[in-house]
Each structure stands twice: as C-alpha cells, then as structure tokens.
Amino acid sequence: MALNRRDFLKLATVDGAVGAAAAGSTMLAADTASAQLLQRPPRPMPEEAVGLLYDSTLCIGCRACQVACKRANGMPIDIPETYEAWNGGTWDTPTDLSGDTLTVIQVYQDGTMEVKDRETDGFAFIKRQCMHCTDASCISVCPVSAMTKDPVTGVVTHHPDRCIGCRYCVLACPFGVPRYEFDNPFGQIQKCQLCTNVPDRDIPACADVCPTGATLYGRTTDLQQEAERRLGMAPGETYRFPRGALGDDRASHEAPIAHYQSAVYGEQILGGTQVRMLAGVPFADLGMPHDVPDYSYASITEGIQHTLYKYFIAPAVLLAGLVYFAYKNARSHRPEDWD
Amino acid sequence: MAKQSDQVHAPVGGRLFTPMFFGLGLLVLVAGFFLFNRFVFGLGSVTNLSDGYPWGIWIAIDLVVGTALGCAGYAVALLVYILNRGEYHPLVRPALLASLFGYALGGAAVMIDLGRYWQGYNMFLPWLSQYNSVMLETALCIAAYITVLMVEFSPVFLERLGMKNIRRRLDKVLFIFIGLGVLLPTMHQSSMGTILVVLGHQLSPLWQTQLLPLLFLTSALFMGFAIVVFEAVLASVGFRRPMEAFILNKLSTVMAWLLLGFVVVRIADLLFRGDIVLAFRANLDALMFWVEIALHVTALVLLWPRRIPASPRRMFLSASTMLAAGAVYRINCYLVGYHPGDGWNYFPSVGEIMVTVGIFALEIMLYLVFVKRLPVLHTVDRAYREEHAAQAREGGAAAVGQAT
Ligand code: SF4
Ligand code: SF4
C-alpha cells in the first residue's frame, strides 16, 4: 500500500509540468490511496424530513398513483412511440419517467412469472420517482440553485424560473429522475416534488390514493421504523398495513408479511434518501442502483473542489506567482521603444 | 530583435474569397439551417439527445474537445511568459487567435445546447450562484477567459488601427491578463474533469477516477501544444512560409514529457484501482479504451526526442495523433464511458454532426480572415530567416553535443 502510494506521488510529480499542477496532483494522487481524503463530511438529514415508504410486496400494479400524480400536477398523458400502433391516444401508458410523467410503476418479470415477489419465475413492481436524497447530486451540480432542499422537510424542489436547462442534473442524478422536455423549444426540467408544488395538498397524491398502503407518506424516521417493524416480523404473519400517511386515521390494510430482502433501500445508499423502499426481489432486478457506495458522490466532488479552492487561497497564490513571472518576463519581450 | 512590434507581425495578405472559403461558408449555412430548427422546434427535433444521454457531441466535442484545442494560447503563454522561453515568442499570436476562436465557439455551442438559454444569464447573478457546482466554476472561468483572450489579442487590432497610445497603455498592464490567461485555463480545464466525478458509477471505472482533474489538465496542455505545431505546419505549407522548425522541435520535447506523464498516471491509476480488468472485456468501452491508449502511445513514439530534428511531415503526424488521442480521451469520458442504465443509447444525429462541422468550419474561416488581414503571423524577412537558420544549426549541433 504505502509503496504504491509513494510511487504515485512520484509519478504525479513527473506529470506536473506546471508547479500548480504538481501541487494539485500530489494531493489528488495521495487521494487515490484513501478515498476519504478529499471527501467533505456527509450531510445530515433534517430531523423533520418527510418522504415515502414504498413496499413493493404490497403493490398490486394498479397504477392509481400514476394517474393521481398526473392529475395533481396537471400533466398530459404519455404514450411511448412503440405503443402508438395500438394505443389510439387516450390511454396514459408511460413505461418510464419523462417530461410528462413524474412517477411510474414498472414491472420486473422472469420466466413464467408465476409468483409475485419471487426472483425466478416471478414478477414484482417498482415505483419510480424522485428519492429526495439527503445529500442530493442534483442540488450539488446545479449552477444556478434551481434545485433546492427545504431546510425543514428536506423535500427537493425545482425552480424553472432559475433553471438554464443545462441538464447537468439529468446527467448526474444516480436514480435517473430529472427529465427535460426535449420536444418543447421552451422545455423545462420535470421531477417529483412530493406534491409540495400542488396547492391544498397535505400529503402527496400518490400516497393518498394507494389502495394497499404500498406507497405511504410520513416522516422519514418514522417510515424507517415502520419498515424495520415489517422486516422484523415472520413471513406469513398478519399485519395491519397503514395507508395514506403514517398515523392518519384511515382504515388499515390487513395482509400477510411477505418474504423481504434483508435491508431497507434508501437508508444508507449514496448518502441516504428520504424515500425508503422494501421489496421481495433484489433491488438490482428492479433497476435500482446497487453495489454503490454509502456516501454521496456529491461529497467527493465537493471535497475535491473545496480542497483546491478553499477560500480561494490556492488560485490566489497561483495567480500572484503567474502575474509576477509574467511581469518580469513580458518586460524582456517588450520592444524597447515603449518604455 | 526588431524595433517595433508592427514590423515583427504582419498580415499574410492574399485573396479572401477562395473556393475553400466558399466551401466552408456552405457548411456554416447548413449548420444555420439545423440551428433554426433547434430554436423553433426544440432540441429533440434536431438532436438524438434523451434523458439517458442529456449531453451529446455539442458538449463532448464542441465544448470539451474544442476548448482543449483552444488551449494553444494557454500552453504557449505558459512557456513564453511564465517559464520565460522567449524563443517561442513567434508562436504567441497565432496561438492566441486559435484560442480565442476555440473558446468563443465552444461558448457559443453551450448557448445553443442550453435548454433554457433565455435564462442563461442567471449564471452571472451572484444571488443564484451555487458555489458547490463545478459547472458554475467552469462556466464563469470560461467566460472570464474569453474576455482575457480578447484583451490579450487586442494589440493586434490596435496595431492594425494604428492606435499606439492605447496599445502602449495596455502593454503596461498586460502582464496581469497574461497571469489570468494562465490561471483560468488551469482552473477550468481541470474542472472539466471534475465535472464527471459526480457521475459515480454511471461513468465506467475505466475513466472514473478522482484524478480526472489532473488528467484533463495534462491533456489540455499537450493538446494545446499539439495544435500550435499543427497550425504552424499548416500555415507554413498553406501560405508558403518557412517553418519555425527549430522552435517546434524543441516544443516536441515538452510535449513528449507531458504525454508520458499522462500515460503513466492513466495506466498506474487503473492498475492501482484494479479496474484495468475492464479493458479486457469484449465491449465498446474496452475497444475505445485501447484506441485511446494506442493513440497516446503512437504519438509518444512519434514525438520521442531524437538527434535529427523531425521533418515537418513527422511533426504534423505526431501533432495530429496527439490531438486525436486527446479528443478520443475526452469523448470517452463524456460519452462512451457514460452508462445511464439499460435501454438508453446515443449516436449523434445528422443535425448534431452538421452543427459541429459548421462550428469548426466557421473557426477556420475566421482564422483565415484574421491572419490574412491582421498582423498575426511573424513576418518572414531575410534577417529573420538567417537568424533562425543559424539558430537551427547551433541548436542541431548542441543537440548532437548533448546526445553524445
Ligand atoms: S433522486 Fe435525483 S432528482 Fe431526486 S433528490 Fe436525488 S439526485 Fe435529486
Ligand atoms: S438543468 Fe436546470 S435544474 Fe438541472 S442542473 Fe441545469 S440549471 Fe440546474
């Protein structure tokens, strides 16, 4: 390890033809040895953060959430090109998020698709929408503060009046959430804002209409406890699944506990998300990022930037040096008759 | 040394409206047609961009490769003014000109690509600035650098217009702009690498590394030098001028070291992380990785310092290979290695390609107009030729002396 690292430093020095580059490279090269070196500390989740708990095993694929979302956000129907042959144009059949679709139910299918929530010869549903990341990439990359996080609820919202349409958030979001309206000459970015943008809504439309409680709204810490309670029970045991929002007074949905994957998705992944998920099949099958670090990518980028540009000291020193040499050397290149 | 600067540089002269000029103009018109569509019907009507590949060749080539080609001014200013290698001075003005166009047109490509360009000025409003954004830093740096380039290049206009007073006053403060002209590219060229770090697992480990800023900076430098050589050779052939062969040969040594550094760091990083195994799979990533490495190594072999000064043909070949190497590296990072997930794919549309071609055509057109009408290139007078012939002889002898 140590040897490698030293070699690295040497190599980096060879490479740094410019003094500044050499300094920067030494830091960066050293960094490869320990991924933590140029990382800024993780962002904590706000205490009152809210989100959703999506339990794939409860989801019956009715897509009521999808329809309610469209209605709440006043968005048009969405028909993929491949469906146009048989879909005359009245049925909303999105297969993915898009500029017209903020949440979508997708399905995993394998073999004979006999049993729900089974990996082989089974099927399972997954709801896609913004995960409302604790340490969100979209916020970190946006040059003009068009993505912001509510300091109390932690909901990540988008501000089209600020957005310049660079689509860096589209590129960077690890969950593929923000979408741009490419067909509109004045297109904008679209993403779920947990209905904070919808007037007179206290809970998101999707959670409101979900008949089984598969999509449940609440404080993220409470949702996490709820999820852990389900994980702690034996498969087959009967449980009264809350519906709508955690703690509200609607009738619960009684059903047996399914065979869950062992962890709550979203607790740690990429710095944590305020939307949490449970499923019976691996999240990799459901098309969610897996095998990814527990820290957010934003913490790495910002770590690099903050090290190189802390208080703007390094650039200022570099500039001073450059200006000095330029002054000294430009003089000697200057035709004499101008002095 | 000549007494007055306007005797050192002179317009090349000659006809402006050559068949080549009209050919290039046609390409620009075609690009204009597609741009019209882009603004009237939206990005989707002209490009193959999607939510999986929200950035296409207008970013990867026009901006990321284009500004690297525009690093000629950066690289030469670094040599001449910071490392005080006065012998490279004849290269400064043509290099600055190439930079000015490379950057201005890269910036124009961004404006075309912005989905909400009419709000583009938001980037310059401090109360909206999001200082964690690498893109903000990059964009502001590029905008500032275009301004600096204009100032650095303005003596050319002032000389042409005979405005000696302003020219003289400007000269007194020019060193500040020269300093900025080296600082800003150092910042934004490395940041163009940092921009990709946040992509995490979406960028193949063959390219994803925290060394991206260093690698991008190094590639910007050697591409900057390569374009200087490229341009000098073309100018000497195109305008039938003697070539600054001696200078260019010395430059090759600098480039060789930079290139070597790049390749060593690149490979060592992959070995160190263990991700080199990905290069031995049968897929596009692996193929493009080897193309990239092969181009770098070929350029290195062509460049490697030798006793006899390289022929213009060889210099041109090595410079072109280097440019190709850097361009492929950048395209790999921004497009090939990016994997947004199943079901997405991207290949540029005819419209996208034609706009890119049009932008480069416009660059060449402007370059031709400028060197023919403004004092950009060094004058080729007898004294100059003799001086350089002598230098070349001495230099050649010195080189042989060093080698033995
Ligand atoms: S899921 Fe994507 S869009 Fe939503 S907060 Fe996280 S990074 Fe932003
Ligand atoms: S597209 Fe808009 S919201 Fe997204 S990063 Fe760019 S400016 Fe920010």
Residues A224-278 pLDDT 10s: 999 999 999 999 999 999 999 998 889 999 999 999 998 999 999 999 999 999 9
In a domain, B3, yes or no: no
If we measure between CA atoms, which residue out of B78, B123, B124 comes closest to residue B99?
Answer: B78
Q: Is residue B287 part of a domain?
A: yes
> Distances from the Cα of A5 to the Cαs of A8, A199, B214, B237, B275, in angstroms?
5, 56, 16, 48, 17
Q: How far apart are CA A7 and CA A10, in angstroms?
A: 5
Cα(A53)–Cα(A213) distance, rounded to whole angstroms? 9
Q: Is A236 left (phi over 0), alpha (psi -120 to 50) or beta?
A: left
pLDDT of residue B241: 72
Q: Tell me which residue in B39, B115, B272 faces A8 most closely, judged by beta carbons.
A: B272
d(CA B355, CA B34): 7
Which position has the higher pLDDT, B74 or B83? Answer: B74
What's B404's DSSP letter?
A: -
Through-space distance between the first and last CA atoms of chain A, rounded to whole angstroms: 57
Q: Which pLDDT band holds residue B71 (cuts at 50, 70, 90)? A: very high
Q: What is residue B399's three-state secondary structure?
A: helix
Q: Of the candidates B255, B206, B205, which has an alpha carbon nearest to the alpha carbon of residue B228?
A: B255
Give the one of B41, B202, B214 whose C-beta lies nearest to A185's C-beta. Answer: B41
The CA distance from A65 to A299, in Å, is: 33
Query: How does residue A14 score in pLDDT terms, banded at 50, 70 and 90?
Result: very low
pLDDT of residue B235: 77
Q: Give residue B380's pLDDT band: very low, low, confident or very high (50, 70, 90).
A: low
Q: Is A77 in the pocket of ligand 2 (CB under 6 A)?
A: no
Residue A189 CB less than 6 A away from ligand 2: yes
What pLDDT band is residue B244 in, cutting at 50, 70 and 90?
Answer: low
pLDDT of residue B13: 81
Structure tokens at A48: 């009152």
- Taking CB atoms and an 8 Å limit, are A182 and B211 in contact across chains? no
CATH code of B315's domain: 1.20.1630.10
Contacts of A25 in chain B (CB under 8 A): 211, 214, 265
Query: Which tokens go with B41?
Result: 């019907």
- In a 13 Å sphere around the CA of A6, the CA atoms on its Cβ side amount to 2
The pLDDT of residue A20 is 42
Given CB atoms, is B183 within the 8 Å cutoff of chain A? yes
Q: pLDDT tens digits for A288-305?
A: 999 899 999 999 999 888
> CB distance B81–A326 less than 8 Å?
yes
Distance (Å) from the C-alpha of residue A154 to the closest C-alpha of chain B? 18
Give CA–CA dist A248/B85, Å, rounded.
Answer: 76
Whether B401 is in a domain gets the answer: no
Give the pLDDT score at A316: 84
Per-residue confidence (pLDDT) for residue B299, from 0 to 100: 93
pLDDT for B393: 53
DSSP A33-46: H-TTTT-PPPPPPP
* Sign of the Cα pseudo-torsion (B130, B131, B132, B133, in order): positive
Place A213 in a pLDDT band, splitting at 50, 70 and 90.
very high
The predicted pLDDT at position B375 comes to 85
Which residues in A lie closer than 8 A to residue B4 (C-beta atoms)? 335, 337
On the question of pLDDT at B228 being above 80, the answer is: yes
pLDDT at position A23 is: 43
Q: How many domains does chain B have?
A: 1
Atom of ligand 1 nearest to the CA of A136: 7
pLDDT value, residue A337: 37
- Answer whether residue B72 shows pLDDT above 60: yes
Residue B266 in domain:
yes
B1 occurs within a structural domain: no
Measured from the alpha carbon of residue A102, the closest ligand is 1
DSSP E strand stretches across chain A? 50-55, 104-109, 115-116, 122-128, 147-149, 156-158, 179-180, 189-190, 215-219, 238-241, 253-256, 276-278
**Does position B192 have pLDDT exceeding 90, yes or no?**
yes
Tell me how far apart the alpha carbons of residues B387 and B233 are, in angstroms, rounded to a whole number. Answer: 19
Which DSSP letter does residue A337 get?
A: G
Higher pLDDT, A288 or A14: A288
Probe ligand 1: pick from A156, A159, A301, max atoms within 8 Å of CB?
A: A156
Q: CB–CB of A174/A167 below 8 Å?
A: no
CA distances from A299 to A131, A325, B332 (A): 17, 36, 24
Q: Is A193 in the pocket of ligand 1 (CB under 6 A)?
A: no
| Model confidence, pTM | 0.88
The pick from A129, A177, A269 for probing ligand 1's pocket by mutation, whose C-beta has the most ligand atoms within 8 angstroms, reads A177
Q: Which atom of ligand 2 is nearest to the CA of A167?
A: 1
pLDDT at residue B1, rounded to an integer: 36
Domain housing B107? 9-396
- pLDDT, mean of residues A121-130: 96
Cβ of A163 within 8 Å of Cβ of B116? The answer is yes
- A11-25, A37-51, B286-300, B363-377: which range is least confident on average? A11-25
Tell me how far the alpha carbon of residue B154 lies from the centroid of ligand 1, in angstroms: 45
Higher pLDDT, B307 or B164: B164
State percent of chain B over pLDDT 90: 56
Question: What local confidence, expressed as pLDDT, does residue A16 receive?
Answer: 38
Residue in B147, B157, B139, B217 with CA at minimum distance from that of residue B177? B147
* Segments of B198-296 assigned E as strands: none
Least CA distance to A98: which residue of chain B? B51
Question: What ipTM does the predicted assembly reach?
Answer: 0.88
What domains, with CATH codes, occur in chain A?
50-295 (3.30.70.20)
SS3 A29: helix
- Tell me the chain B residues in contact with residue A307 when contact means C-beta distances shorter than 8 Å: none
Region B292-310 average pLDDT: 85
Yes or no, beta carbons of B179 and A174 under 8 Å apart: no
Comparing CB atoms, the residue among A12, A181, A301 nearest residue B265 is: A12
Q: Cβ separation of B54 and A142 shorter than 8 Å?
A: no
pLDDT value at residue A332? 66
Averaged confidence pLDDT in chain A: 86
Tens-place pLDDT, residues A87-113 = 887 888 899 999 999 999 999 999 999
Shortest Cα–Cα distance, A121 to chain B (Å): 21
Whether A189 lines ligand 1, by a CB cut-off of 6 Å, is no
Angle at A218 between CA A213 and CA A224, to 5 degrees: 85
* Residues present in chain A in total: 339
- Region A25-30: what's the mean pLDDT? 46
pLDDT bracket for residue B391 (50, 70, 90):
low
Residue B2 resides in a domain: no
Token output for A176: 């593929």
B214: nearest CA partner in chain A: A25
Does B117 sit within 8 Å of A165, measured CB to CB? Answer: yes
Task: Using CA coordinates, name the residue in chain B closest to A161.
Answer: B119
The token pair that represents B323 in the structure block: 């440019």
CA of residue B137 to ligand 1 center, whole Å: 22
Cβ within 8 Å, pair A141-B54? no
How far is it, in rounded angstroms, from Cα B63 to Cα B55? 11
Residue B217 has pLDDT above 80, yes or no: yes
Closest residue, chain B, to A32 (C-alpha): B210
pLDDT at B381: 54
Identify the nearest ligand to the CA of A177 by its number: 1
Q: Which of A140-144, A155-159, A335-339, B333-337 has the lowest mean pLDDT?
A: A335-339
Are residues B198 and A301, on separate chains, in Cβ contact within 8 Å? yes
Question: Any bridge partners for residue A238, and if so which?
Answer: A256
Give me B187's structure tokens: 């910042």
- Reported as a single tens digit per residue, the pLDDT across A145-183 is 999 999 999 999 999 999 999 999 999 999 999 999 999
**C-beta contacts of B286-290 below 8 A and 24+ residues apart:** B286/B206, B288/B328, B288/B332, B288/B336, B288/B337, B289/B206, B289/B332
Q: Which chain A residues are closer than 8 Å to B174 by Cβ?
A: 330
Q: A156 C-alpha vs ligand 1 centroid, how far in Å?
A: 7
pLDDT given at position B310: 72
Tokens of B80: 């001449």
- Nearest CA residue ID for atom 6, ligand 1: A133
Enclosing H/E stretch for B291:
helix B284-303
> Ligand 1, residues A43, A127, A132: which to mutate, most atoms within 8 A of Cβ?
A132
Report the range of poorest mean pLDDT among A230-234, A313-317, B379-383. Answer: B379-383
Residue B4 located in a structural domain: no
Chain B residues with CB-CB distance to A328 below 8 A: 84
How is chain A split among helix, strand and coil, in percent rounded to 5? 35, 15, 50
Whose tokens are 């080199």? That residue is B276
| Whether A158 contacts A189, CB under 8 Å | yes
SS3 B13: coil
The answer to whether the CB of A138 is under 6 A from ligand 1 is: yes
What does the DSSP assignment read for B14-65?
S-S--HHHHHHHHHHHHHHHHHHHHHHH-HHHH----SSS---HIIIIIIII
| 8 Å CB contact of B257 and A172 | no
- Residue A204, pLDDT > 90, answer yes
- For residue B9, the surrounding DSSP H or E stretch is strand B9-10
| B30 assigned to some structural domain | yes
The answer to whether the CB of A177 is under 6 A from ligand 1 is yes
Nearest to A153, CA basis, from A54, A52, A56: A52
Q: Whose CA is nearest to atom 4 of ligand 1?
A: A130
Q: What pLDDT sits at residue A37? A: 61
In chain B, whose CA is at the least distance from the CA of A317? B183
Number of Cβ within 10 Å of residue B189's Cβ equals 28
Cβ of A178 closer than 6 Å to ligand 1, yes or no, is yes
CA B191 vs CA B71, B148, B279: distances in Å:
14, 19, 26
Cβ–Cβ gap A11/B199 under 8 Å: no
Count of H helices and E strands in chain B?
15, 2
Asked if residues B320 and B331 have their Cβ atoms less than 8 Å apart, the reply is no
The verdict on a CB contact (< 8 Å) between B183 and A322 is yes
Query: Among A268, A266, A270, which Cα is nearest to A279's?
Result: A266
User: Which uninterrupted H or E stretch holds B288?
Assistant: helix B284-303
CB B232 within 8 A of CB B205: no
Paired residues of A122 in beta bridges: A115
CA distance linking residue A75 with residue A114, whole number of Å: 35
CB A242 within 8 A of CB A226: yes
Pairwise CB contact (< 8 Å): A144 & B268 = no
- Nearest-CA residue for ligand 2 atom 4 is A169
